[in-house]
Structure 1
């Protein structure tokens, strides 16, 4: 028998305990019949993050992923959605696929994660030349660039905001993000991608598509869209950009 509320799908969502954006973002985009069940990856709120410590800190978060998987699987979800993006880009295309495959082996169900979902979203739009924005440090932006290039995209330019702590990522203002989007834009760019799941961009990216006249993809939108479509859920939703309304 189907779950009374999750009759189209029960999604287990994995995210760092410091992340305050993923849950409300995904809930905004949740059609009737889909439920989301959050499993928090215990994450100390790293302070004074630097280029030297960012990668080590993000890998430390990744160490808790399997514990979070085992916890959320007790509610018997049909599918998993990764609410953390940095480590899903590490190691290029092979690293992204290995991350997905490891979680799927542990869980026994499939997973949507930020790296693979972003590539699928860019392809849906037909984009080739890409610029991207992150709250990361250069060491992590280099991993995102490597992944995108191995997937066949040309990365024209990128910006990393170098947020000083994990929770500070959620404090970046829309005004700051608007300025950064304009810095990234240009006639040489087909689409702009935002990575970093604790950076609040779902609504802003949808609006930016209108005033920039090109795809602007928030990673939380791409990951949730990927999960819905992978499960045959084709609801079209307005207000979150063309990805959810047109594809």
Structure 2
């Protein structure tokens, strides 16, 4: 067989009925977002029959420090163009601190860059970011005071705190696990999070952010902590999932991951899927 006999695909295959394509832009060392989100959407599929596929673009990041985070931001447009080649329905920029390192409210600009790149590439898509999803979800839930757990070194945790407070939400307490290697963050044991969360000063809190990082595993602990503490519990991953579902017009119907994804705070009707 010669090369002339080979037919190459020049465009993505048409989507099957009741199937949504989700594009992710993730740090190159991320090992969690592409495991927790598919599991969450598997549960959504079980409840609704809607199918979801995932398509990722990766931007270089090894150490979670300000310099590498800002360098990653400059790659967002290229990543958006690459992942939009798959004709995805929605793109999620899944690096919370890379956006927050740019200063309060930076998610708006980052999401516009990604949307513009996908549109100019001929495959427009809805866009969210983990940073934007976290603050918008808290606002939608009516949370004015929160406590949070983050894996970062203290200066980055403080930066996240200031970003959230810049959105009008008071951070009563923040526990910093002080891990700077991104692979090490992904290896943290989520089953230790309930014990860690018990140390949070949460009197007066409206919600808990159990993982203010898409790389820190947390899914097995979300429902446990919510049930134990009697407060809404979200993570960067669950907030991003919530906004992806909203962008697709799908009602959250996910069990075992907190009230947010079970539909407790849904304000918009769904079903365009």
TM norm. shorter chain > 0.5: yes
1:232 is matched with which residue?
Answer: 249
- List structure 1 segments (4+ residues) > 4 angstroms apart after TM superposition: none
2:30 aligns with 19
The structure whose Rg is larger is 2
- Give per-residue Cα distances to partners, 1:11-59, cap 9 Å, x unaligned: 111101211110011101113322221222233x33xx6xxxx111222
Which residue matches 2:10? none
What's the CA shift for 1:188?
A: 2.5
Choose from 21, 33, 53 the match for 1:35: 53
Q: Is the 8 A contact 2:190 2:220 kept in 1?
A: no
Which among 209, 213, 225 is matched to residue 196 of structure 1?
213
Higher relative contact order (CA 8 A, sep 6+): 1
Instruction: Write the deviation string for residues 208-241 of structure 1: whole angstroms up to 9, x where unpaired.
Output: 1001110111110110111111220114111111
Equivalence for 1:206: 223
Question: Secondary structure of the residue that 2:85 maps to in structure 1?
Answer: helix
Structure 1, unpaired ranges of 5+: none
**Does structure 2 retain, via aligned residues, the 8 Å contact 1:8–1:233?**
no
CA distance in 2, matches of 1:186, 1:195: 16
Unaligned runs of 5+ in 2: 1-12, 120-124, 267-273
Secondary structure of 1:18's partner?
Answer: coil
TM-score in terms of structure 2 length:
0.81
Structure 1 vs Structure 2 CA RMSD: 2.0
Q: Which of 236, 243, 247 is the aligned partner of 2:260?
A: 243
Q: Are positions 1:66 and 2:82 aligned together? A: no
Alpha-carbon distance in 1 for matches of 2:148, 2:247: 24
**What count of residue pairs does the alignment treat as equivalent?**
239
- SS for the counterpart of 1:143 is helix
- Structure 2 counterpart of 1:166: 182
